[in-house]
Amino acid sequence: MPTARTGLISGLPWKTLAADAPATTWSLPPWALLLLVAGGVALLLLLVVKVKLHAFLALLVVSIGVAAAAGISLSDLPGVLEAGMGDSLGEIAVIVALGAMLGRVMQESGAVEVLSGRLLAAVGEKRAPLAVGLTALLVGVPVFFESASSC
């Protein structure tokens, strides 16, 4: 019977069994893998910022490209993507969904406009970016802390 793999810190089990993970042998040296990851991050930013591709789609495209370039076979790719995304999304999906609903309620009720208007009045028109940043901080921090506390 397969046993759970342990992580970098001894005694902390991974969520997958050793038998569940596809056999992966890297054909690239570690420095090339690091460059590949850095290139993937740059491509992700380019796709989201310049091309205006939806962030999830851009992440999916870049993940597939980096995995293929790193040497993961195309037949193993769906399993690797499912395992990686399933572990990540399974833990935070409910909190992200609730945070999105809370944000929508705050938007529809006008709470964000009132908050940003008062902050803009407090810091002045010349410092409008500061008011926008503070609004984003005040609206986003509760969702962030809720996400962090569930991990």
Domain ranges, ordered by start, for the chain: 27-72, 82-151
pLDDT for the residue 138? 82
pLDDT at position 8 is: 47
* Residue 45 phi, psi (nearest 5): -60, -40
**What's the CA gap between 109 and 16, in Å, rounded?**
43
Can you give the pLDDT at residue 91?
Answer: 67
The per-residue pLDDT string of the chain (151 residues; one tens digit each, 9 = 90 and over) reads: 444 444 444 454 555 554 455 555 567 788 888 999 999 999 999 999 999 988 888 888 998 999 889 888 888 888 888 887 777 776 677 677 777 777 778 878 988 889 889 999 999 999 999 999 998 888 876 655 555 555 5
**pLDDT at residue 5, rounded to an integer:** 47
Orientation of helix 55-70 relative to helix 77-109, angle to 10°: 160
Helix, strand, coil percent content, the chain, rounded in steps of 5: 70, 5, 25
